[in-house]
Structure 1
Amino acid sequence: MSEKVFKALNEQVGKEIFSAYLYLSMATYFDAIDLPGFAKWMKMQAKEELEHAMKIYDFLYERGSRVELPALEKPKSNWKSPLEAFEAAYEHEKSITKSINNILEIARKEKDYATEQFLAWFIKEQVEEEAQTDLIVRKLKKLQDSPTGLYMLDRELGSRE
């Protein structure tokens, strides 16, 4: 594995861990405003992001590299509304997609076909991640300030397995 590919994948481990940290922070926000379904959804999302980090971690070791964990910045902890939080989550997912696509470009330039193949799963996963968060953003926009609608969406998000 080239140094460029190693560096990009290693940085991505940190980005995935930060994603988990951000979503856990969003969960604390939702718990604080009495939306346990939203909080559960975010806690599950945080767990999923840690699993993504571990996939990359394991891949790096399979390829004979050593992971170097970066320092994490403190995530934001308050939002004006559930909509603002999910808009932030959607923007974050778009930034992760951009990062994965950048790694793919580096792997192609370096003719690292194993990494290119490995990243196919992440590219598909990011399509799902963006679609999920975007759908919730669109639902929240339709609800506007409806307490009943928010309660129903909270129940829906709380049913995530």
Structure 2
Amino acid sequence: MKDLVRQKLSIHVEIMDLLNKQIEKEAHSSSAYLAMASWCDQNALTNSAKFFYEQSSEEREHMLKIFKFINDNGGTAYSPEIQGIDHDYNSLQEVFEIALDQEITITKSIHNIVYKCRKVQDLNTENFLQWFVSEQAEEEQTMRRALDLFDLMGTEGLALKFVDERIPQIREI
């Protein structure tokens, strides 16, 4: 009976499985950003901490958006286990470099799901994922803007404080 139900889904089975993996990636990102926020708090980088708390919340929203999409289309979304979250960083610049790498990984994953949607002609899911394609371009750009601040201002002492003060504006540009 389970196989019969899976054949009646609005969502393609292979795509559903990929989306469940994406849920795990989004949850991991949310947890990683929470750890980054904590590190920033511990190092008196209050604007950066706030930024990463917000990033964590956004990633959780992305996870829930995919989760609900799967269930709304007759599939089964799975709540992921999260492991392997780093909590120790050497610098704020390193935090943003890791964040950029994380966003690039998420972007590639979303793109791969879109390509698979095209291959199996799952137009509904491909349409759903277009929001994520645009969102990921913005996320990468935001992290690059933050890293540009380090190139402009430096990474030590007062320069680090100036970078932290500019973090709230990186989304506005």
TM-score (norm 1): 0.94
Alignment partner, residue 157 of structure 1: 167
Alignment partner, residue 99 of structure 1: 109
Decide whether the 8 Å contact of 1:40 with 1:157 is kept in 2. Answer: no
2:133 is equivalent to residue 123 of structure 1: yes
Alignment partner, residue 79 of structure 2: 69
- Counterparts of 1:10-89 in structure 2, within 5 Å, are 10-89=20-99
Decide whether the 8 Å contact of 1:37 with 1:154 is kept in 2. Answer: yes
What's the CA shift string for 1:69-104, capped at 9, x where partnerless? 232113111111100110000000000000000111
1:154 shift after superposition: 1.6
1:143 shift after superposition: 2.1
Q: Which runs of 5+ in 1 are unaligned?
A: none
Q: Distance in 2 between matches of 1:77 and 1:140?
A: 21
Q: Structure 1 residue runs of 4+, over 6 Å off? A: none
What amino acid maps onto 2:130 in structure 1?
A
Alignment partner, residue 19 of structure 2: 9
1:109 corresponds to which of 86, 104, 119: 119
Query: 3-state SS of the aligned residue for 2:19?
Result: helix
Aligned Cα RMSD in Å?
Answer: 1.6
Structure number, greater radius of gyration:
2
Q: Which runs of 5+ in 2 are unaligned?
A: 1-10
Deviates more, 1:143-152 or 1:38-47: 143-152
Deviates more, 1:136-145 or 1:3-12: 136-145
